[in-house]
Structure 1
Amino acid sequence: MHICQLQTHTNPPTKTHRAPKSASALHGLCQQQQQQQQQQQQQPQPQQQQRQQQQQQQQQQQQQQQQQQQQRQQQQQQQEQQQECALMHTQ
């Protein structure tokens, strides 16, 4: 009995440090599973889910393209301003 008690006293520190992480990780997994189940109940056809996800990805790509275009426009404007300044100085 005493040996068992000693072991339990020496072991806990390592276990207690790991326990919260694994517990939170498990909790996260549980939440994900619950959400997936809810989605499946609301939309019995999994094809719809896939389509929605694809649409979202396409939208994100479009947004990125728009941002790139805006950046290019800004660069062009800056170049034009610099040219104007140079013209002013030469005159």
Structure 2
Amino acid sequence: MGANKKRKRRRAELDDRHYLAIELLTTVPTPNLDDIARHCYVDRRTLYRWRLRKDFQRELTKAQERKHKHFRLKLSEIRRVEDFEFIFRAAGLI
């Protein structure tokens, strides 16, 4: 092994701040990235770097899929107009 060969540095595991960011990124309506970074006590640039991490992307995708599945199930249960109104209000759409 040559002296100039760089060792691959092991990245730290995702922590509570990462999972908070994931939760905020999957809320509807999604807060802006400045607000999410502030809630996680990190700089906005750090949040951008987190979003490039493969492990962060994997957990973000899982969270999005869980929430989509949950909403699809809820939508399939709707039988009344009032239920639609409730969902649209909860999503901040009306």
Whichever of the two has the greater Rg, that structure is 1
Normalising by the residue count of structure 1, what TM-score does the alignment of the two structures yield? 0.34
TM-score by structure 2 length? 0.33
Higher relative contact order (CA 8 A, sep 6+): 2
**Structure holding more helix per residue:** 1
